[in-house]
Structure 1
């Protein structure tokens, strides 16, 4: 994965649909928005998608099918507390996503690999949002 792609991930606006309407925006290396803190509580959370595996464009039908499979996998996890609709908005692109509360890093890493995602965003409680590289090849973990 090249630096330009990591930079694109880092500048993406990660938007979570709020139950009362509107959106909360998550930024990499920024604190979780106040509007999400009550929902998150003391739990881990992640912002993940199944769209465009390895950042390669796929058809809408392929992306939709993969996203439905990801949602089913998230709901099967015993640690999942909540799943909210979300969308990642970058320069010239948008990807439907999920904001999920509860799964561990290991569980989210496994899903990111299963759905061939280069990275996802995660955090703990009301801490900072971090970009996590999900390749099964070293280096793996936080993007600097």
Structure 2
């Protein structure tokens, strides 16, 4: 497992929570937002729980497209080997200048989801149970100056 060196974890959590997320299902792009239910997605693709994860730009540090695509291929291979259901998804900042492809996964155990994200150097994922608002799960230590956010969880191992 990688140890992430994040310069400002509190700022990163705020950026992740404000980001725009979407999943591609049968030609439609269904939006996901932290703190809001994902009713359209859940009606379209029923599951007990959901996780959005990306292999791109570990620790939110830019990497080349080639390096990111290689990491994504490794992630997909792991998902296929584990039999995890997935759909293409993405995250982007509100200006559209920072965009990362990823995967929306169904019914993945929380511990496995966290381990998978950490193995690919990710500081956070979206994770929620059907019928509940989308939550941001930060996988790094919560800094003392981090503002409390209703739909952000900090998980340390």
Q: TM-score range by the shorter chain?
A: 0.7 to 0.9
Q: Aligned residue for 1:142? A: 153
Aligned runs of 1:111-122 on 2, under 5 Å? 111-122=116-127
Specify which of 64, 81, 84 is matched with residue 76 of structure 1: 81
Stretches of 4+ moved more than 3 A in 1? none
Matching of residue 95 in structure 1 with residue 95 in structure 2: no
Offset, 1:16:
0.2
TM-score (norm 1): 0.87
Aligned runs of 1:4-43 on 2, under 5 Å? 4-19=11-26, 21-41=27-47, 43=48
Aligned runs of 1:99-110 on 2, under 5 Å? 99-110=104-115
Offset, 1:94:
0.4
Unmatched 5+ residue regions in structure 1?
A: none
Question: For the Cα contact (< 8 Å) 1:24–1:33, is it kept in 2?
Answer: no
Offset, 1:102:
1.4
- Alpha-carbon deviations, 1:18-67, whole Å to 9, x = none? 11x120010001101324334133x2110010000000000000000001
Question: For the Cα contact (< 8 Å) 2:42–2:130, is it kept in 1?
Answer: no
Question: For the Cα contact (< 8 Å) 2:55–2:102, is it kept in 1?
Answer: yes
TM-score (norm 2): 0.80
Look up the SS of the partner of 1:110 in the other structure: helix
Question: For the Cα contact (< 8 Å) 1:12–1:89, is it kept in 2?
Answer: yes
Look up the SS of the partner of 2:14 in the other structure: helix
Matching of residue 85 in structure 1 with residue 88 in structure 2: yes
Q: Which structure has the greater CA radius of gyration? A: 2
Unmatched 5+ residue regions in structure 2?
A: 1-7, 143-151
